[in-house]
């Protein structure tokens, strides 16, 4: 009884009184196995290069990438998603180095498989943007527009080459119409029926991709609004989901994660396959920058954002903090 009257018997604060009580009743839990580490490997460098807008993240040499993969395994991380950064002189209009068996990404796939075998799921970004001199995710037509169907032919070849180099999972990220069906057919036709497809089903044209473009030394001219999704739209994501599932996606992804938790929740409710979310470069950079200035508690902010992504429905999270967080967990 207080001066304001009596309260009902229900007091939710009882379940928040101590760390052990909060831990016992927690509805959402992170586990190292939920995490996937995105990693960059750059051609022509002799030592890892820190990415200016992503402190603590590096463009790896082939040797340092092997070490990073081994550390991820030791921490209990489930997968590593590889992005190749070729020398600028090797970029061309069709991204030839992306389908060269000796291209930097294919070399990295073989390196990591040799290092970790099947202890870590080795995933490869299946897109042309790192390899084209114009920086777009596809082949351009005579008017400078991304040619959807010509791009699919390049994706099919990329899928075969990446699978041949040892990828357990390919991640088509270009947002071309029909890409999942074409890639599935190409993999199966080349005898790679066991290689899984993690479809970038929902990928918005986001301002938060900025640091990533530094990470892959992007040559992008213009923007990707004609093929990545409009941030104003939600129903579009469910349409993309239905198409990707029909075409044979084994897993689906929402990217970015933090600004699109509502979309992630809708996709997770509708999908009958595992759902991933990618905590992208801009999300990483914001937390690191604010923490460096003493504005937020870095470790607490990292864990809170990851819990939010998991709570929204992600069964897997791609995050640049994967190894660090797995160790902490």
Which residues lie closer than 8 Å to 225 by C-beta, 6 or more apart?
205
The answer to whether residue 78 is domain-embedded is yes
For the chain, what is the domain count? 1
What does the pLDDT profile of the chain (329 residues) look like in tens digits? 566 667 777 888 889 999 999 999 999 999 999 999 999 999 999 999 999 999 999 999 999 999 999 999 999 999 999 999 999 889 999 999 999 999 999 999 999 999 999 999 999 999 999 999 888 888 999 998 999 999 999 999 999 999 999 999 999 999 999 999 999 999 999 999 999 999 999 999 998 887 777 777 777 777 787 888 899 999 999 999 999 999 999 999 999 999 999 999 999 999 999 999 999 999 999 999 999 999 999 999 999 999 999 999 999 999 999 999 999 99
The continuous run of DSSP H or E covering 200 comes out as strand 196-203
Q: Are 48 and 60 in contact (CB under 8 A)?
A: yes
* 14 in any annotated domain: no
Residue whose pair of structure tokens reads 């093929």 in the numeric block: 227
CB 253 within 8 A of CB 241: no
Asked whether residue 9 is domain-assigned, the answer is: no
DSSP states along 285-318: HHHHHHHHTTSS-HHHHHHHHHHHHHHTT-SEEE
Q: Which residue has the tokens 């939010």?
A: 308
> What pairs with residue 235 in β-bridges?
none
Angle at 269 between CA 266 and CA 270, to 5 degrees: 90
Hey, how many other C-beta atoms are within 10 angstroms of the C-beta on 313?
19
The residues near 301 (Cβ < 8 Å, ≥ 6 apart) are 287, 290, 291
The 10 Å Cβ neighbour count of residue 39 is 25
pTM: 0.94
Nearest to 39 by CA among 4, 87, 73, 90: 73
Q: What per-residue confidence (pLDDT) applies to 1?
A: 56
In a domain, 199, yes or no: yes
Strand 58-60 versus strand 35-42 pairing type: parallel
Q: Is residue 10 part of a domain?
A: no
- pLDDT at 288 (0 to 100): 97
Residues designated as active site: 203, 255
Closest CA to 321 of 72, 43, 59, 40: 72
Q: Are strands 79-85 and 35-42 parallel, antiparallel or unpaired?
A: parallel
Helix (H, G, I), strand (E, B) or coil at 33: helix
Please list the helix, strand and coil fractions of the chain in percent, rounded to the nearest 5, in that order.
45, 20, 40
Judge contact between 82 and 39, C-beta under 8 A.
yes
Cα 42 from Cα 37, distance rounded (Å)? 16
In a domain, 18, yes or no: no
- Residues 6 or more apart whose Cβ sits within 8 Å of residue 284: 54, 57, 211, 319, 320, 321
Does a structural domain hold residue 98? yes
User: Per the domain annotation, does 12 fall within a domain?
Assistant: no
Domain CATH number, residue 221: 3.20.20.70
The phi and psi torsions of 37 (rounded to 5 degrees) equal -100, 115
State the residue range of the domain holding 209: 29-328
Q: What is the DSSP string of 34-63?
A: GEEEEEEEETT-SS-EE-TTSTT-EEEPHH
Structure confidence at residue 135 (pLDDT): 81
């Amino acid at each position: 009884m207080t001066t304001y009257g009596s309260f009902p018997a229900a007091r939710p604060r009882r379940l928040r009184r101590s760390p052990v009580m909060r831990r016992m009743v927690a509805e959402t839990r992170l586990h190292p196995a939920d995490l996937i580490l995105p990693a960059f490997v750059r051609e022509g460098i002799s030592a890892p290069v820190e990415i200016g807008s992503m402190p603590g993240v590096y463009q790896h040499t082939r040797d340092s990438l092997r070490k990073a993969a081994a550390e991820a395994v030791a921490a209990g991380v489930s997968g590593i998603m590889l992005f190749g950064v070729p020398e600028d002189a090797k970029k061309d209009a069709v991204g030839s180095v992306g389908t060269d068996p000796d291209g930097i990404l294919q070399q990295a796939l073989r390196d990591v498989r040799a290092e970790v075998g099947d202890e870590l799921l080795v995933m490869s970004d299946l897109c042309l943007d790192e390899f084209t001199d114009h920086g777009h995710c596809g082949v351009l037509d005579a008017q400078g527009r991304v040619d959807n169907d010509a791009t699919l032919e390049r994706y099919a070849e990329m899928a075969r080459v990446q699978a041949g180099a040892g990828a357990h999972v390919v991640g088509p990220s270009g947002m071309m119409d029909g890409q999942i069906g074409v890639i599935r057919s190409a993999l199966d036709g080349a005898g790679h029926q066991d290689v899984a497809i993690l479809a970038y089903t929902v990928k918005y044209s986001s301002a938060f991709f900025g640091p990533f473009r530094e990470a892959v030394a992007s040559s992008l001219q213009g923007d990707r609004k004609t093929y990545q999704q409009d941030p104003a739209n939600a129903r579009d994501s469910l349409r993309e989901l239905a198409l990707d599932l029909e075409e044979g996606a084994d897993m689906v992804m929402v990217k970015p994660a933090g600004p699109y938790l509502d979309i992630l929740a809708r996709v997770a409710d509708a999908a009958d396959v595992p759902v991933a979310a990618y905590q992208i470069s801009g999300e990483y950079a914001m937390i690191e920058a604010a923490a460096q200035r003493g504005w937020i508690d870095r470790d607490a902010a990292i864990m809170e954002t990851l819990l939010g992504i998991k709570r929204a429905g992600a069964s897997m999270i791609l995050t640049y903090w994967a190894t660090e967080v797995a160790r902490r967990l």
